[in-house]
Amino acid sequence: MVFTREHENLVKEGEKWMKTTTESCSITVALIMTIVFAAAITAPGGSSQETGIPLFRKEMTFTIFAVSDAISLFASSTALLVFLSILTARFAEQDFLVRLPRRLLIGPFSLLLSTTTMMVAFSATLFIVFCDKNPWMLAPICVLAFIPIAIFVTLQFRLIIDLFQSTHVHIFGKHRKSFLRRFNPDDIRLLFGK
C-alpha cells in the first residue's frame, strides 16, 4: 500500500506518456494502412480493359510489389490493433511490468515492418513503371528508400532495446521464468530506479 501510494504520480506520468506515444503512432499507422490499401487495389501500370488482370503480373518486380504491399497491410493492421489495445488498457501498476511494455514493443516493431515493406512496394512500383528495365536505376531507388527506414531505426532503436531488456532479459540479477508470474512491487521500484 505504501509503494502504491508513493508511486501514484509515476503511474499517472507513465500512462500519459504511453497514451500520447500510442496516439501519435496510431495516426501514422492509419495513414500507412490507407496508402498500402489504395496501392493494393490499383495495380502499377494498370490492368487489361477486357479481363481486369494487371498488365505486369508476369514481372518479378510486380510479385515483389504484391508481396511487400500485402505484408505492409497486415503489419500496419497489427500495429493499429496493438496501439488500440494500449489506449484501452486499464493502466494498473502491475500492467507496467510486462503487459504494456510488451505491447509497446510489438507496436513499433510492426510499424517498422509496415514502413519497410511499404518502401519496398513503392520502389518496386517505381522500377516497374518508370525504369523500363534499366537495372542501373535500381541502386538510386534502393538508396533513397533506405533513408527513411534508417532514420526511423536510429530514432527508435534505444526505446526498442530498453523495452526489450526491461521485459524479456535478465533484470537486476533475476531471470524471468514465466511471463505470467505474480506481481512484485519491488520489480517496478527497481525498474524505475526509485
Q: What is the pTM of this model?
A: 0.75
Which set of grid coordinates corresponds to residue 21? 506515444
In a domain, 49, yes or no: no
pLDDT higher at 27 or 176: 27
Considering its fold, how many domains does the chain have in total? 1
In a domain, 34, yes or no: yes
Which set of grid coordinates corresponds to residue 152? 526511423
In a domain, 71, yes or no: yes
In a domain, 50, yes or no: no
For the chain, first and last CA: distance in Å? 16
In a domain, 105, yes or no: yes
Q: Which of 13-17, 96-100, 166-170 has the highest mean pLDDT?
A: 13-17
Q: How many CB atoms lie within 10 A of CB 163?
A: 21
Closest CA to 96 of 14, 21, 41: 14
Alpha helices for the chain (secondary structure H): 2-6, 8-41, 60-87, 99-130, 138-168, 185-192
In a domain, 38, yes or no: yes
In a domain, 61, yes or no: yes
Q: pLDDT grade, residue 118 (50/70/90)? A: very high
Domain range enclosing 133: 2-44+55-192
The whole-angstrom separation of Cα 121 and Cα 46 is 15
Tens-digit pLDDT profile for residues 155-183 = 888 888 887 777 767 555 555 454 445 55
CATH label of the domain that carries residue 124: 1.20.140.140
In a domain, 33, yes or no: yes
The whole-angstrom separation of Cα 94 and Cα 73 is 33
